[in-house]
A and B are shown apart, each in its own frame.
With several copies, the nearest count.
Chain A
Amino acid sequence: MTKPNLSVDIAGIKLRNPVMTASGTFGYGAEFAPYLDLELLGAIVTKGLSMKPKAGNPTPRIVETPGGMLNAIGLQNVGIEAFIAEKVPFLRTVTTPVIVNLYGNTLEEYGELAGRIDAIPEVAGIEVNISCPNVKQGGIVFGTDPQAAFEVVSLVRRSTTKPLIVKLSPNVTDVVVMAKACVDAGAEALSLINTLTGMAIDLQKRRPILANITGGLSGPAIKPVALRMVWQVAKVVKVPLIGIGGIMSATDALEFILAGATAVQVGTANFLDPSSAGTIATGIETWLEENGVADIRELIGALKS
């Protein structure tokens, strides 16, 4: 049998396979180079970037929960200048497309940042985080109000010609409404889901475990919610979707693709096993071969229901 086709197209970005890394779980790529061949990946999405370097939240910032984890990193990042100076040179050494996840504390900052990134040739595309639940200012509003989402995405769309992905929050009554607003505003692809807002408590200390009190729930625990949202959105919008949430294996990834995702992102799994994303990519190829599927695209949204 000839090798199956694994390549997909997300908003004009050509991926050699549908497996990307999720923002904030893969650093800037270099951290994982000792554990897997970055050339095995469809794309690398970098840690959420802002204009200025950002300190993030006090610690503890992470805590394990049943089948998942909470994080309240608070979007600590190096800021655009250091990103260009320190991170881009390494990313230039890999042929895998690099997508920059960005966020702003204000509407204007989103636009300004998108404009700056537009000028970086090494960046294949932009993923706009309107969904991070940790930053009071900004984040939560853009991600849960369709009108605010429309505005911020429109502004970013005007500020860059790069392929534009918008990442959706699951903490909403109707994710389809949010999805439509973003597409109407010019999003060429949607990634979903970001983390569910949760909390953990230390009984003996009678305190929240996270310094930030609440944090974002990720990992296998959220997979059913993520699958459901991808399926709901896929029925309604036409742009390609990137499925995210608790993907640990090639099987998980293929389930998201059946539900309607064109690509997937691997997040928390990178912590359990730093080679996960590579293993998942090769696992998908093996599955296609074993099941006589010539092209991954045959599976996108192929769920019988």
Chain B
Amino acid sequence: MQFKSMVLSNVEVSPSYFRMRMTAPPAISGSQPGQFVMVRVNPAIDPLLRRPFGVFDLGTFETEFTDCGRQSYLEILYKVVGKGTAMLSTLHQNDHLDILGPLGKGFIPGDPAGEKLLVGGGVGLAPLYYLAKELVRDSKVNLFAGGRNKEDVLCITEFERLGVETYVATDDGTLGARGLVTDVFEEQLAKAGPKATILACGPFPMLKAVALLAEKYNVPCQVSLEAYMACGVGACLGCVVKGKNHSDSTPDYRCVCKDGPVFDSKDLLWS
């Protein structure tokens, strides 16, 4: 769906990371974890294109000045990296946005009996929070969070409050273990039960490492990808990635916006 939204809050939770809460229609509650929204930052033509962000959290709130009871909200967690996110970060309460979503295919929870291994790098943690919230109802959830330094590892307390067991690694060791989160992850993966599921979101090299580990230990694995997007609805073919059967002569392209952003790691070509 497409809807007008009003900013409820927009807070810098860590240097250059912002958490923005905005109004949404009740149907937003149908979003699957891993789905995303396309945000039109302002009605001017600079920036021109919408910006994609994962659904970080959903909920309802009591409206202050009206009688209409509880209203729905949507939260995104974003990092300021360029023009669009910089402009987003200057928005205030009551400013307006135009939102498209939820879009794409989200994570599939898999067997509730199996433990869930969530792997997130940097702002890749964003969609994992809403995912964890849903998963903890039925399953044991572990989170492996990585980043360059402690400021990149976000909202760990929130995850812990959900009852998620968290493992952290940073490149510089300022939080958790020093090194790659995939190393910490492999240790635990080796011990994981046969019904475990891996659910990952983060930079491509991290996802690739996770996908290879998943293959090595034969654990089902879903990854959430990023790609430059224009339409978000499968029309422009701007956001494609190579599917497992891809070769130059027999192309197999998938749209990150429509066939993803969450893919079974086995469906993609990682080389």
Interface residues of chain A, those whose CB is within 8 Å of chain B, are 24-27, 31-32, 34-35, 47, 53-56, 59-64, 66-69, 71, 73, 76, 219-220, 248, 268, 270-275
Contact = CB atoms under 8 A, between A and B. Distances in A.
Contact of A272 (B49, B238, B241, B258): B49
A270 B26 CA distance: 25
Contacts of A24: 236-237
B270 interface: no
Contacts of B241: 59
B251 A53 contact: yes
A60 B228 contact: yes
Interface string B33-52: 00000001000011111100
Contact of B48 (A27, A64, A71, A275): A64
A224 to B, nearest CB: 12
A73 B233 contact: no
B233 A32 contact: yes
A220 B228 CA distance: 20
Contacts of B100: 35, 274
Contacts of A76: 237, 240, 251, 253
Q: Which of B1, B228, B236 has the most CB of A within 10 A?
A: B236
A100 to B, nearest CB: 16
Contacts of B232: 271
Contact of A61 (B2, B98, B240): B240
Given A24-B236, A64-B48, A76-B237, A271 B228 contact: no
Contacts of A62: 228-230, 236, 238-239
Interface in B233-271: 233-241, 248, 251, 253, 258
A26 B234 CA distance: 9
A25 to B, nearest CB: 6
Contacts of B234: 27, 31
A68 B49 CA distance: 9
A56 B48 contact: no
Contact of B237 (A56, A63, A219): A56
Contact of B238 (A32, A35, A73, A219): A73
7 contacts: A31-B235, A55-B251, A56-B237, A62-B236, A66-B46, A73-B237, A273-B40
Contacts of B230: 62, 69, 71, 268, 271
Nearest to A61: B238
Given A274-B2, A274-B100, A25 B237 contact: no
Interface string B50-86: 1000000000000000000000000000000000000
A271 B40 CA distance: 10
Nearest to A60: B228
Contacts of B1: 34
Given A62-B228, A220-B48, A271 B236 contact: yes
B227 interface: yes
Given A55-B248, A76-B253, A271 B237 contact: no
A10 B227 CA distance: 38
A298 B98 CA distance: 35
B231 interface: yes
B48 A274 contact: no
Contacts of A272: 40, 48-50
Nearest to B2: A35
A61 B237 contact: yes
Contacts of B238: 61-62, 71, 73
Contacts of A219: 45, 48
A195 to B, nearest CB: 13
A93 B45 CA distance: 34
B240 A59 contact: yes
Given A55-B251, A274-B2, 16 more contacts: A24-B236, A25-B236, A27-B235, A35-B2, A47-B237, A56-B253, A61-B240, A62-B238, A62-B239, A64-B48, A69-B230, A268-B48, A271-B236, A272-B50, A273-B98, A274-B233
Contacts of B239: 59, 61-62
A67 B46 contact: yes
Nearest to B257: A31
Given A62-B230, A274-B100, A73 B2 contact: no
Contacts of A274: 2, 100, 231, 233
B98 to A, nearest CB: 7
Nearest to B252: A55
Contact of B227 (A26, A59, A273): A59
